[in-house]
Amino acid sequence: MRETSSFLCNVGLLAALTGCAPQAGRVWDDPLYTRLIDNYQEIDLHVAPGDANDRRVPRAQRPLPETEALSLGDAIAIAVANHPRLRAAAYVVRAAQGREVQARLGPNPGFGVEAEALGASEGKGGETAYVLRQEFITAGKLDKAGRVAHADQLVSRAAFNATKHELIGEVKQAFYAVLAAERRVAARRELADLGAQLLQAAEARVDAGAAIEPDRLRAQVAHEQARLALRTADADLQAARGTLAVAMGLDAPLAIPLAGDLESLLAFPSQDDVLQRVLAWNSRLQAARHSRERARRAHELAKAEAWPNVTAFAGPRFSDIDGESTLDAGVELEIPLINRNQGAIAAALAERLRAGAILGQTQLELIEATSQAWIAYDTARVAAETYREVLLPMARRTLQLTEQAYRSGKFDYLRLLDAQQVFVETNVIYLDAVLAVQQAAAALESLMQIELGELNAKETFTQPTNAEEVSP
């Protein structure tokens, strides 16, 4: 009994010395991340992948607002609360947190029993030994492994933020595409009505002998083209609504109308200021920086793993033959004669160098993407302003003068309808230019990590002051 009590005491003491109690994991308190995990983890855990008949596949956790129209802010809020791509990125963060907890845990102690001459028919048995064994991690490898895992977690957080802003940019582009498609349908419907009027006027003139048959055919062609363009515009509107629904994480097209101003254009600062913001805040670049730091820490861990761990063992031994109790103890360690982890060290160094090159590559890619988005934005903005300030007023003035000439009898009705068609067509081209501005602006905002409503015409950008530290 005394030996058993002593053995249990030894077990407890060894467990306390080796620190085998689990350590608390680091928790990222991002409200969006935690809300996504809380809302969807049960659903995503139990829905069978690929089961088309499983109706537990979630619809919007955040319902559509009970308003007459959907705003851009509502669309973004629904997207970030529901989209499975963002949920997948959140689970990557959670997995990285778990790996960090595991990386900081040391090995468990071991226990063994060795007995001799069990079941002997004559005489006493042999010796019975109880052995406690514990491996001790040397060279700070546990801390280094935890720091590698923490850097992995920072990479996943940056990737989560990048996914969020990419999703917001897609919602903005899809939202403005629907607004433009609605305006385009209205313009095409007006053109179709004008085409019908043009055809009626042409037929009346041909019947009255004031025009010839080619005039009627020309009007018929214009009428059919306008009707076809209207059907195409209506189909484009339905497709744009479907794209917006998918960007919002919904599985059915939107029926609710949208509330937004297509012609409210953002005024960005200079291209250099935009690029400065991108290089300071973009999460892709932050992820590349964290990846480089992760590779550096992995290289340090690989070098530390060249040092062997120490395994200690101790335990009582009882002899039935001699009636004696003794204590066995010992220490074991590998002798690094052949395997000094040299291959892993070389591979880790190469990965460290590769991570540095990828960081430079990512920066160049962002510079190129910013330049292209800026050129697209600036070009489309100039085109939209030209149409709004020059071409549309000219087309409107032409229509007004044609109407005056028609009322005074100088122009016929066909000439008036032609002027109206030119005016409507100019409006359609203007809408396309405005949409190009909005979509290029959304791309710039995504690169700059701009939240909804953060940017205005007078904003100037500075370096961030709350950037996340790399150290755990």
Token representation of residue 345 = 């060290």
For 106-115, write each residue's pLDDT tens digit: 999 999 988 8
In this predicted structure, what is the pLDDT of residue 179? 93
Q: What is the CB-side half-sphere exposure of residue 144 using CA atoms within 13 A?
A: 16
Check residues 465 and 339 and name the one with the higher pLDDT: 339
Check residues 5 and 153 and name the one with the higher pLDDT: 153
Domains of the chain (ranges, CATH numbers): 59-105+137-306+341-448 (1.20.1600.10)
In this predicted structure, what is the pLDDT of residue 109? 93
To the question of pTM greater than 0.85 for the whole model, the response is no
Average pLDDT over residues 370-390: 92
Which residue is listed with tokens 């892993």? 344
Say if residue 472's pLDDT is above 60: no
Average pLDDT over residues 167-180: 93
In this predicted structure, what is the pLDDT of residue 9? 42
Q: What is the CB-side half-sphere exposure of residue 377 using CA atoms within 13 A?
A: 23
Average pLDDT over residues 158-183: 92
Output the average pLDDT for the chain.
81
**Helix 413-448 vs helix 213-247: crossing angle, to nearest 10:** 20
For 391-419, write each residue's pLDDT tens digit: 989 988 998 898 888 777 787 767 777 78
Check residues 462 and 263 and name the one with the higher pLDDT: 263
Average pLDDT over residues 33-60: 59
What proportion of the chain, given as a percentage, has pLDDT over 90?
42
In this predicted structure, what is the pLDDT of residue 53? 52
Token representation of residue 234 = 């209506």
Average pLDDT over residues 19-36: 52
Say if residue 125's pLDDT is above 70: no
Token representation of residue 10 = 């030894």
In this predicted structure, what is the pLDDT of residue 360? 95
Say if residue 121's pLDDT is above 60: no
Which residue is listed with tokens 């809408």? 431
* Highest-confidence segment of 4-13, 32-41, 224-233: 224-233
What proportion of the chain, given as a percentage, has pLDDT over 70?
79
DSSP output for 309-352: PEEEEEEEEEETTTTEEEEEEEEEE---SS--SHHHHHHHHHHH
| Whole-angstrom distance, CA of residue 89 vs CA of residue 76 | 17
pLDDT category of residue 36 using cuts at 50, 70 and 90: confident
In this predicted structure, what is the pLDDT of residue 260? 85
pLDDT category of residue 65 using cuts at 50, 70 and 90: low
For 196-243, write each residue's pLDDT tens digit: 887 887 788 788 877 678 877 877 888 888 889 899 999 999 999 999
* Total number of residues shown for the chain: 472
pLDDT category of residue 459 using cuts at 50, 70 and 90: very low
In this predicted structure, what is the pLDDT of residue 107? 93
For 288-332, write each residue's pLDDT tens digit: 999 999 999 999 999 999 999 999 999 898 877 667 888 889 999
